[in-house]
A and B are shown apart, each in its own frame.
Chain A
Amino acid sequence: MSEPLILGIESSCDETGIGIVRGNDLLANEVASSMEQHIRFGGVVPEVASRAHLEAVVPVLEAAVASAGIDLSELDGIAVTAGPGLMGALVVGLSAAKALAAWLNKPLYGVNHLAGHVAVDLLEHGDLPMPCGALLVSGGHTSLLKVTSIADGITEIGSTIDDAAGEAYDKVARLLGLPYPGGPVIDKAAARGNPAAIHFPRGLTARHDMAKHRFDYSFSGLKTSVSRWVETEQQAGREVPVDDVAAGFQEAVADVLTAKAVDLCGYYGLEHFLIGGGVAANSRLRTLLAERMEDAGVELRRPRPGLCTDNGAMIAALGVQVVKAGLRPSALDISADSGLPVGNVLV
């Protein structure tokens, strides 16, 4: 039997993505982003994102089908992000997927966005050896996972107890007077600064925190610490070294993210580790994680940045895994779930 041919739809945040995948082969990955429309608001505005999804769905679908060179009737199923994400945004993609499934008379698979970030690596590096650890970092999530099967064996071991890592980047960028989104601009400024010039705290790494939050993250204290440091400099009438602050902040984020990832691998005896999500494109995080995983003897898998950010191919790739695992399709009356737990791969 040939490999499943799946179309995947993603609309959980500000990207409308439609991808088409056959087995582990990526045939199309079209993404329309409404990021430009959110910049002036300093963050993703759910209603603005939802309106943009509605306008983007049909054009992105057309583009994906054209670039894959397939006929929709060949599909073995439609996969769609059912959660987690912004409710109004999820509902647009989910409704489009249901319409496709009903018209084409194909099975529908409502799947978990976070599991999609894991599955996307298969498109680049082939089947994932199990068990495997994963770090998902973006503006919306910061999670450490243990994966024994992509379709039905994902466990969240730790996550952020306050801000997501990407949110911390946005907030620190803002207090440094840098534009939104914060990730790329801080990465750029940090490259010019000295990461050792200012030491910022690593959240949840103190001994008493490690007892309860060994694999959890916290970034709100880091943000407050950066804010205080900057205020002190200003009050003393000194010019704030933005590049050094950015570098010190980025180092603190990358240090704690990677340290806990390595700890996870040691704790569970994992020999393979994967990173995903928009913040996975951060240069310092990629470098430091590669160094530390190599030292720990763990194989690191890093999908290229274009696959790390939200897209439809990751949802299609996950759909393939779900079909191959023989799981039952979703009913046509499934709901979007803005808080869908990562353990629920299929709705």
Chain B
Amino acid sequence: MSKQINVALIGNPNTGKTSVFNALTGLNQKVGNYPGITVEKKEGVCKLSRNLKAHIIDLPGTYSLNASSLDENVVIELLLNKNDKDFPDVAVVISDVENLKRNLLLFTQIKDLEIPAILVINMSDRMAYKGISLDIEYLEEQLKTKIALVSTRKNKGIEDLKTLISNYKALNTEPCLDASVIDKDYFDNLRKAFPNQLLYKLWLVITQDVNFGKVTRNEFDSIEDFKTKSSAELKKLQQKETIKRYQFINDTLKKGQTIDLKTAKDIRIKLDRILTHKVWGYLIFAIILLLIFQAIYDWSSVPMDFIDSTFAALSEWTRSVLPDGIFTSLLGEGIIPGLGGIVIFIPQIAFLFLFISVLEESGYMSRVVFLMDRIMRRFGLSGKSVVPLISGTACAIPAIMATRNIESWKERLITILVTPFTTCSARLPVYLIIIALVIPEGRFLGLSYQALTLMLLYLIGFATAVGSAYLLNKVLKIRSKSFFVIEMPNYKLPLFKNVALTVVEKTKAFVFGAGKIILAISVVLWFLASFGPGENFNNAEQIVTENWASQELTENELQQKIASYKLEHSFIGITGRAIEPAIRPLGYDWKIGIAILSSFAAREVFVGTLATIYSVGSDEEETIKNRMAGEVNPILGGPLFNLASGISLLLFYAFAMQCMSTLAIVKRETNSWKWPILQLVVMSVFAYLVALAAFQILK
């Protein structure tokens, strides 16, 4: 049997841990030039030799073992708990050659926990550019470790690293710093009280809650009695510890590293002079946003039209080739139109992820955080909230996860609560189809009305998010320190591979994730629409023929009448009409009502649902859009989708909380049902009222 060891990748944010992880495991986890891309533990396997396998654990970045935010805490929890199934046999500490001094701080802390540790010095391809040279042998000796000089970009040094991991038993586990230099008396007492424990580990457990305070205690219960020092004193000691560590590191690097400033180059200063400028910085940011918007709206319309008509043709083709029957009708009227409703959005989703990924990979995202912090703070948010709000335009789920590096709990909570207001990609399908139906063509200042409407909807989304943040900031009584620090990484040329992978993976996840729900819902819907209880449904043909006997109807018209009569008395029709009174004031008929109901699972189901409902019983080849355009309002007459009902629908979707997955994530991230329930109720009631007002005013 082959043996398996645990290998944890630990390091400062943005040093390339995930890149090393991907190189070792062959997996494709997300990489980006922004501190805080990885926010939770990710695992993979690497075969080292015939009988040795490594279980590799990628962790969020941390500046030290003193956690100050949730993502950092993951690392500390793991390292302090020997009983964790993932507790590392060997820690691989990843450092960035350009920030070696700072990166070594964490390394010395890990050494002091006496865990076998390997030092990876990554980004070695940048050494020449920055004029850095290293005396590896000397460093290995001083730091009592083995070093692998790696460049994941150039694919160098990975094999060396694997060899070092295989020989982990030979690693020196002596600490770098004697913990008792921090405070002799205090540590002597500590040693007496816990003779079997590592001093530095005790120290970490004692000091954790000074900064963050969530370490699970287990074996350290009795340590509470040991709080003989106030937290101010402890902080002083931590400062002293940090200074001691830096002294050691400075001494080590004085000999081990030389930097030739004459050959070092830097484009950071030049770029930052423009990109973070008081005027140009904001202007450029605005232009980038406009460009993204333009791409999503304009550039993707061509492939979208193509997909739409292909699916209509496919559905028609299935029905013409396969023999009539239940299966054919399920396929042609349920599944294919339902799936078409999701595949059509692939181009837009892909564009969105492309842009977001380029912004992250280039290092620009941190600059946006810098530019926006002051403004966002007015609304109770943090500069770091910009990242969730921007990536929320793709999907609220990763966006809410991305709040984990916000230090202040209040700012983080508010960000989580308002992020679902940003226009996520699941809303796009709904917006696009309704805009196409109700907003006239024609242009204003060269921009089409339709594009302007979409832009307005995005703005409404942001404005509502920021506005409700402002209110929450006033209402929520949470005391939490407002502290903010963000690293400004070097600019990097985005790596095509990283960008392409993000786009492909995310798009796939979107299509398959939503695809499953849509498939299930469209089968259920088709069933409910194709069958019904009682006389009315079963004898539909007879009833309709008799009712219309006095009028001259063509065969075709008669069939249409029968089909819609059947639909109305099917299970779904009965349900739909039961809820109709509630939605009629908003200008919707029962079919839209059903679509709204089913899209409480996920918004993008809306279009698929309508497509399914409308195609049951009709047999011409039609695109979804044309079917919807043909619907007539049963009470007011005229097209069902007109300006008033259209705007009302758009606004409803802009505000309503219709995404189970988001609610589940909010529950997980806030650790309480209170917040997701609050979101669901407040957002949905607000949506209903706004939609109601819109329809009543416009009709």
Partners in one complex: no
Interface residues of B (CB under 8 A from A): none
